Amino acid sequence: MYVVERFARWAEDYRKVPLAPEVLHHAKRAVIDWYAALLPGAVVAPATLLEKALREELDHGNAGLALGRKATVRAAALINGSAAHTVEVDDIFRDGIYHPGAPTIPAALALAQANGASGEEFLRAVVVGYEISTRIGAAMGKAHYKYWHNTGTIGVFGACAAASELLKLDARRFAHALATVTTFAAALQQAFRMDSMSKPLHAGRAAEAGVTAALAAKEGVTGSLDVIEGDAGFGRAMSNGPDWEECFLSLGKTFNICRMTFKNHTCCGHTFAAIDGALALQGRMKIAAREIERIRVGSYRAAKEVSGYESPTTPAEARFSLKYVVATALTHGSVRFAAFEPARMNDPATRELMAKIEVTIDPELDAAFPQQRAARVAITARDGRQEEFLQPTRIGDPEAPLSDAQLDEKYLELAVPVIGESKAKALLQKLWTLEAEKSLKP
């Protein structure tokens, strides 16, 4: 069988297997974290601009946007997917260099709402989308990430698999949906190497593409079944010819949705190890930001290249500036939304400290990427003291996960300013018991 057929056969067979309690729990964690990213992203551009651009597809239809406005299924997937990837707090599958939630969950939710699916059916679709897409992302590896933005290119598979599961496509149609969506895979890293709104659109477009491919396959639209492993297929064209057998070694035995990274800072995930390491070293040295003479950060290549803005002038640039987020963390103690407000971005103390930071590629840490996201931080004080600290992982990674309580705190911090405390708490309670919902119709 071709790769898409093997994934489709697994999905059809898995439909007969009850969700294990651990998998169900982690699926709910993923959905809660997605809402934490969705709500603040829904009230800023590009989501607000997309609502204007797609006005003809809004205020009717059977799906809904974050704040309840009706939408067609594809418009809901596109806008909600973009919103969830806007403020840089969405989940990460480390091995696939990929944010699964932003494209996968809005595709599943839009169809679940439109079809009146149960909460358990929705959660199962999320699991299927995560398991298939994360394995494709891991197989494509670092070679793919050189030019492509995985949340768009790999995200189409998560969205398509989740949508196909909700539509209960048989293995043949499921395979054709995956084959079709492969040709929709797009998203260039250059799109966020300068200030733009393109990056969150990658997640939204992936969600929309996945829904489209699944709906088309349901009606009989076919794709090239060898499109992933063929001579001119996805693996060769956009990577270095991956070994696809690795995708299937643990499929159905271990579940990647149980190994997600949930962000603890509101910026690019490649900066997290440096932030965590700098704060840990600052605490150990008991040193104030004004007492620092120099900082050296060694990390993996993507951390330097993707978050390489030297003098950010916009919030989008600042979120991708390792020097800025480390400096603001050391100066103010955290990297939350306030870090990207004008007063904080123009803070003289933060800007002064940025000039003292040197970022280099550490060969040892670069070789361990993407399975390990680490940073080596050295601080020299004005009084001559110097210490070095290795941050071996990021807070929020599977080795140092956020607890359920910490995830609740993150969600409430981000949701309450948008929908108010009572609504935020009510939604949170519903999400923790989502499997009991008989219908997700809005």
- Which of the 8 DSSP states describes residue 92? B
Sole residue written with tokens 């951390």: 303
Instruction: Write out the two tokens for 348.
Output: 């003289």
- Which of the 8 DSSP states describes residue 346? T
Residues 111 and 40 occupy one common structural domain: yes
pLDDT at res. 195: 87
Q: In terms of C-beta density within 10 A (0-12 exposed, 13-18 middle, 19 or more buried), how is residue 348 classed? A: exposed
Q: Length of the chain, please?
A: 442
Q: How far is CA 385 from CA 224, 288, 289, in A?
A: 62, 13, 14
* Residue 396 domain flag: no
303-357 pLDDT tens trace: 999 999 999 999 989 999 999 999 999 999 999 999 999 999 999 999 999 999 9
> Do residues 19 and 123 lie in contact, with contact meaning Cβ atoms separated by under 8 Å?
yes
DSSP per-residue string spanning 94-121: GGGTB--HHHHHHHHHHHHHHHT--HHH
pLDDT at res. 267: 95
CA pair distance 290, 278, nearest whole angstrom: 14
DSSP per-residue string spanning 278-326: HHHHHHHHT--GGGEEEEEEEE-HHHHHHTB-SS--SHHHHHTBHHHHH
* Residue 176 domain flag: yes
Looking at the 3D structure of the chain, how many domains does it have?
Answer: 2
Domain CATH number, residue 107: 1.10.4100.10
* Residue 239 domain flag: yes
* Residues of the chain below pLDDT 70: none
CA pair distance 95, 432, nearest whole angstrom: 27
Instruction: Write out the two tokens for 205.
Output: 């477009």
> Do residues 217 and 163 lie in contact, with contact meaning Cβ atoms separated by under 8 Å?
no
- Which of the 8 DSSP states describes residue 16? T
* Torsion sign, CA atoms 3, 5, 7, 13: negative
Residues 256 and 273 occupy one common structural domain: no
Residues 102 and 203 occupy one common structural domain: yes
* Residue 232 domain flag: yes
Instruction: Write out the two tokens for 282.
Output: 């600052």
231-281 pLDDT tens trace: 999 999 999 999 999 999 999 999 999 999 999 999 999 999 999 999 999
pLDDT at res. 56: 98
**Predicted structure pTM score:** 0.94
Residues 76 and 209 occupy one common structural domain: yes
DSSP per-residue string spanning 37-77: HHHHHHTSTTHHHHHHHTGGGEEEEEEE-TTS-EE-HHHHH
Residues 11 and 55 occupy one common structural domain: yes
> Do residues 374 and 368 lie in contact, with contact meaning Cβ atoms separated by under 8 Å?
yes
Residues 284 and 256 occupy one common structural domain: no
Residues 275 and 253 occupy one common structural domain: no
CA angle 420, 426, 431 (to 5 degrees): 120
Q: Please, which residues have CB within 8 angstroms of residue 237's CB and are 6 or more apart in sequence?
A: none
> Do residues 225 and 234 lie in contact, with contact meaning Cβ atoms separated by under 8 Å?
no
Residues 213 and 329 occupy one common structural domain: no
Residues 173 and 48 occupy one common structural domain: yes
Q: How far is CA 193 from CA 99, 115, 168, 251, 357, in A?
A: 18, 39, 39, 35, 21
Residues 206 and 87 occupy one common structural domain: yes
CA pair distance 400, 402, nearest whole angstrom: 7
Residues 34 and 132 occupy one common structural domain: yes
Q: Could you tell me what percentage of the chain is helix, strand and coil, using 3-state DSSP and rounding each to the nearest 5? A: 60, 10, 30
pLDDT at res. 186: 96
Instruction: Write out the two tokens for 6.
Output: 């093997």
* Residue 442 domain flag: no
CB atoms within 10 A of CB 413: 16
What is the maximal distance between C-alpha atoms in the chain? 72
3-state SS assignment for residue 201: helix
- Which residues in 353-362 are b (16+ Cβ under 10 Å) and which e? bbebbebeeb
Q: Determine the structural domain holding residue 60 and report its residue range.
A: 3-263+401-436
* Residue 340 domain flag: yes
pLDDT at res. 194: 87
Q: How far is CA 36 from CA 232, 409, 427, in A?
A: 39, 10, 11
pLDDT at res. 314: 93
Residues 192 and 49 occupy one common structural domain: yes
> Do residues 163 and 111 lie in contact, with contact meaning Cβ atoms separated by under 8 Å?
yes
Domain CATH number, residue 277: 3.30.1330.120
DSSP per-residue string spanning 348-415: HHHHHHHTTEEEEE-HHHHHHTTT---EEEEEEETTS-EEEEEE-S-TTSTTSPPPHHHHHHHHHHHH
* Residue 352 domain flag: yes
* Residue 12 domain flag: yes
